[in-house]
Amino acid sequence: MPYTINTTAEYHRGKLETLGWELTVSNALHPENSPCRTILKAPSSYGRHLYTYLQSVLPNPDFVSVLEIGGGYGYLMRDFLDCKPDLKPLMLDISPVLLQKQRDTLKDFDVIYRLGDFLETDDALLKGVELVLMNEILGDFPTAVDVPRDILQHDLSPQALDNALKRIRRLFDSYSLGTPQTVTFHFNLGAIEAVEKLCRAGVPAIFLGEHSCEASIPEHFARFIRVEASDSPQRIALKGHDEYTIKMSHLQKVAESYHYRILRGPFADFLDVSYSDSLLALLTNQEEADDRDEILIHFLGDLFQYEYLILLR
């Protein structure tokens, strides 16, 4: 059947050299002089904002054992350690280059590092972990592209499907993921299997944050800020590889089947924007925006385009 599996594993294992060109929300807020900090009510880093938010919603805000999967340059974990120095972090990454970047960033802290693909790790890795962070990494997991909707028909024998299609069909059946609206669809296979693995292990608290294909924006901002929404994950073309946006409702259904309580919303929930007169003027007159203004407009859109799930047991 005419479908492909988009994977970033080869790129991250052997070709990635820098994240400097990839402007994630967390990276946009990293520099102390970032213009993106100026539109927040509290002009601080992404990690500090997220840590404060988790403190307000986690049943056990005094967590110690934390696993970050795909930690980028280590900035998020450094913020967490600055807030809570007694943390015992484990950093797991498929990229040897990024794992070394994390070692450099976190050199002043007691951190364990492991190179590997989370989907291939033993479940024992999760024993005793109180919090798992998967921040802006889910789009890097394998995505099935142009999957024929017909594979979900129950009159089609599973023996007619290859291994990946059998996995997709199992996930649809196991978690009642519904019927795609189009004849072919994209499917976040790796991201869903990763969440399934975490939930099956019973990790008490899980934070998932990524570019969502189901994003929405408050009605009163709709004429100022544009976000893209779709029933199916969408391709994001990046340097040397493609990623896909995430259908967060699929991850939510997996977590619900394991009896997790779920908090869901846009990053704007914990990155609180100060809607000053100058910002509203900028949004009203975007055709006059300079380079700095364009950064702010893009960043503000991302605060609604990116969604989080917090899974709690």
Q: Does any domain span residue 105?
A: yes
Q: Does any domain span residue 64?
A: yes
Q: Does any domain span residue 147?
A: no
Q: Does any domain span residue 170?
A: no
List the domain range (segments joined by +) for residue 255.
8-141+186-305
Q: Does any domain span residue 146?
A: no
pTM of this structure: 0.95
Residues 33-92 pLDDT 10s: 999 999 999 999 999 999 999 999 999 999 999 999 999 999 999 999 999 999 999 999
* Contact in structure between 233 and 187 (CB atoms under 8 Å): yes
Residues 200-253 pLDDT 10s: 999 999 999 999 999 998 887 778 888 888 999 999 988 888 999 999 999 999
* Contact in structure between 5 and 144 (CB atoms under 8 Å): yes
Q: Does any domain span residue 168?
A: no
CATH of the domain at 218: 3.40.50.150
Distance between CA 71 and CA 69 in Å, rounded? 6
Q: Does any domain span residue 161?
A: no
Q: Which residues of 240-263 are buried (b: 16+ CB within 10 A; e: fewer)?
A: ebebbbbbbbbbbbbbeebebeee
Q: How many of the other CB atoms lie within 10 Å of CB of 43?
A: 13
Number of domains the chain is built from:
1
Q: Does any domain span residue 87?
A: yes
Residues 133-175 pLDDT 10s: 999 999 999 999 999 999 999 888 878 899 999 999 999 999 9
